[in-house]
Amino acid sequence: MQRILPFKEEHRLFKDAFAKFVAGKLVPHYQEWEDQGIVPREVFTGMGDYGFLCPWAEEKYGGVGADFLYSVIVAEELAGQGVRGVFSWLHSDIVAPYIDSFGTEEQKARWLPGCVSGEKILAVAMTEPGAGSDLAAMRTRAVRDGEDYVINGSKTFISNGILADLVIVAAKTDPTSGPKGVSLFVVERGTPGFGRGRRIEKVGLHAQDTAELFFEDCRVPAANLLGGEGKGFQCLMKKLQQERLMVSLVAQASAERCLKLTIDYVKDRKIFGKPLAAFQNTQFTLAEVASEIQVGRSFLDTLVLRHMEGADVVKEVSMAKYWVCEMESRAASRCLQLFGGYGYCKEYEISRLWTDARVQTIYAGTSEVMKLIISRGLEL
Ligand SMILES: Cc1cc2nc3c(=O)[nH]c(=O)nc-3n(C[C@H](O)[C@H](O)[C@H](O)COP(=O)(O)OP(=O)(O)OC[C@H]3O[C@@H](n4cnc5c(N)ncnc54)[C@H](O)[C@@H]3O)c2cc1C
């Protein structure tokens, strides 16, 4: 598909190297990780060894100061080869940027090298049992006590929740101040009072470990406060644009994979004495899916360019998060239909693409929440 993004020779070399890594080191083991409900830690350190984690980080922290196109390549390649449950893109392009943007020099020097090498796996914990879309309703509390903060509360649905070594936790430091009373803390593996619950059994995205986290009198040094007391909500809002762009990029690449697998299948499958591809219904269905995919691609590439220019495209990215993720679900479902009964069998990857797609309209802000944001800009 024609791209408008300014990929240069170095991007192409990086893409080739990463594509080989994914095909050789991830794809052959992916079903095993789906069955186990988690990927091994070595996936992260392996990616770190080759420079595939946080390539944007400054050299002094182990990165190469790469532009955002490298992050686009990683996310698209993982989804494009059907191993999207490897949440390195969450680690590199959603969570680590909090440390990079809001951390002090001391915090960056302490944590970023481990993020780049993969020795420190990251997660971000905002959602609570009673606070999902309505984040301001969070009840997790952090109370200052001398040189520490004491955190009490719980989080749920946390991606990389079992693997994570550093979790950025949102907690209320001043429950009377609404969003201005929220702060972010980096909670490290092994901190007394920090516990992990069960790995949550999901309908899809099995290789991605999703967990509940508990904080019981969890004492975190004040040096682990990120971005300043009461600044948590502001920090979260500043990073939503990239977070939702990343989710949309994964959705887009996954929709493209659905189409590719289905085109291969319908050419091969014969019914009523001819290939399934020869039926007009098949052709029209795939023409519609392909058209939606092309629209998504054009829109997303434009947003990637605007994001790289530093533009505020929160509203447009919300449109992409809403539309591209819904489009992915539609594409996965329609493509699965063309596989007939085989599409409903685990042996066929399209079944996984369909179940994996379902969550895309829910996490990182539901489609309904995206519509709220978009409609706010319509001056209704
Ligand atoms: C696999 C997975 C991974 C996740 N990873 C993370 C993670 O790493 N970190 C993290 O913090 N969270 C994570 N989440 C949580 C995710 O972001 C939340 O599930 C999501 O924000 C929705 O919150 P909720 O589940 O509480 O649903 P609710 O907020 O209870 O929403 C229920 C329904 O109400 C609708 N709704 C909500 N508000 C409105 C409104 N104002 N108007 C109309 N309709 C509305 C919603 O769209 C939805 O349809 C993950 C979730 C899943 C399933």
In terms of residue numbers, what domain contains 131? 123-230
What is the sign of the dihedral through the CA atoms of 184, 178, 307 and 303?
positive
224/251 same-domain check:
no
Q: How far, in Å, is the centroid of ligand 1 from the Cα of 54?
A: 27
33/133 same-domain check:
no
Residue with CA closest to ligand 1 atom 43: 368
Q: Look up the CATH number of the domain holding residue 327.
A: 1.20.140.10
Domain annotation covers residue 2: no
Q: Give the end of a domain, one of 90, 120, 150.
A: 120
Residues in the chain: 380
Q: Which atom of ligand 1 is nearest to the CA of 205?
A: 1
265/372 same-domain check:
yes
290/349 same-domain check:
yes
223/292 same-domain check:
no
Q: Give the end of a domain, one of 99, 120, 141.
A: 120
Q: How far, in Å, is the centroid of ligand 1 from the Cα of 63?
A: 33
330/366 same-domain check:
yes
Q: How far, in Å, is the centroid of ligand 1 from the Cα of 231?
A: 22
pLDDT for 198 equals 87
b/e per residue 147-161 (b: at least 16 CB within 10 A): ebbbbbbbbbbbbbb
Residues 200-204: contacts with CB within 8 Å, 24+ apart?
Answer: 200/156, 200/157, 201/37, 202/359, 203/355, 203/358, 204/352, 204/354, 204/355, 204/356, 204/357, 204/358, 204/359
219/262 same-domain check:
no
Q: Which atom of ligand 1 is nearest to the CA of 200?
A: 1
Residue with CA closest to ligand 1 atom 27: 132
Residue with CA closest to ligand 1 atom 12: 127
Domain annotation covers residue 3: no
- Residues (pLDDT < 70) of the chain are none
Domain annotation covers residue 198: yes
pLDDT for 325 equals 98
Q: How far, in Å, is the centroid of ligand 1 from the Cα of 363?
A: 6
Pocket of ligand 1 (CB under 6 A): 123-127, 132-133, 157-159, 202, 205, 210, 359, 362-366, 368-369, 372
Spell out the residues 6+ positions from residue 149 whose beta carbon is closer than 8 angstroms to its own: 142, 143, 171, 173, 183, 185, 219, 220, 221, 222, 224, 225
Active site residues: 243
146/48 same-domain check:
no
pLDDT for 1 equals 79
Q: Give the end of a domain, one of 87, 120, 153.
A: 120
285/155 same-domain check:
no
369/286 same-domain check:
yes
Q: How many domains does the chain have?
A: 3
Q: Look up the CATH number of the domain holding residue 102.
A: 1.10.540.10
274 by Cβ neighbours in 10 Å (0-12 / 13-18 / 19+) ranks as: exposed
pLDDT for 181 equals 96
DSSP helix, strand, coil percent of the chain (3-state; round to 5): 55, 15, 30
